[in-house]
Amino acid sequence: EPTDVASFLNKIMTPYREMGDLEGKLVELDVNVDRSVALDRKRIHQLLVLLLDNALKYSDTGATVKVSAVIEKKRLVLTVADTGRGISNEAKKHIFDRFYREDKTGNRETGGTGLGLSIAEWIVQAHNGRIIVSDNQPQGTIFKVSLPL
């Protein structure tokens, strides 16, 4: 059945707000969608988890993570914007590759397999959507996902 975007996102974000509280990061949600949409909730949830995990993982205390949702030209546009360490232009070419990690030291703090974004991209493509990465101002990263409705 159709999904109420605001409550769907609110629910997903609750643990991240709590994690943000504990880590001194502000996690915000801004939904500008006034109708229910048909959505693969399981996969889109998984996609947001991947992006939110990264947004928190690659930012320090005091950072802000902002999720927004809006409908533009029959597409649902979801953005996850952080004010964290950012991604170099060189790394941007590789982040969607399997097992690519910018930081290869594998320390526990930022540990990971480097699979997250390749799975995120796979989910988006499976829905005929697009995912793009850009720089946030004055620092950090923005992931923008658009899905046809």
Residues making contact with ligand ATP (CB under 6 A): 54-55, 58, 82, 84-87, 95, 100-103, 112-118, 141
Q: Nearer Cβ to ligand ATP, position 116 or 129?
A: 116
The nearest distance, CB 62 to ligand ATP, in angstroms, is: 15
Q: Nearer Cβ to ligand ATP, position 35 or 89?
A: 89
The nearest distance, CB 91 to ligand ATP, in angstroms, is: 6
**How would you write the chain as a 3-class SS string?**
CCECHHHHHHHHHHHHHHHHHHHCCEEEEEEECCCCECCCHHHHHHHHHHHHHHHHHCCCCCCEEEEEEEEECCEEEEEEEECCCCCCHHHHCCCCCCCCCCCCCCCCCCCCCCCHHHHHHHHHHHCCCEEEEEECCCCCEEEEEEEEC
Q: Nearer Cβ to ligand ATP, position 41 or 98?
A: 98
The nearest distance, CB 74 to ligand ATP, in angstroms, is: 28
Q: Nearer Cβ to ligand ATP, position 5 or 117?
A: 117
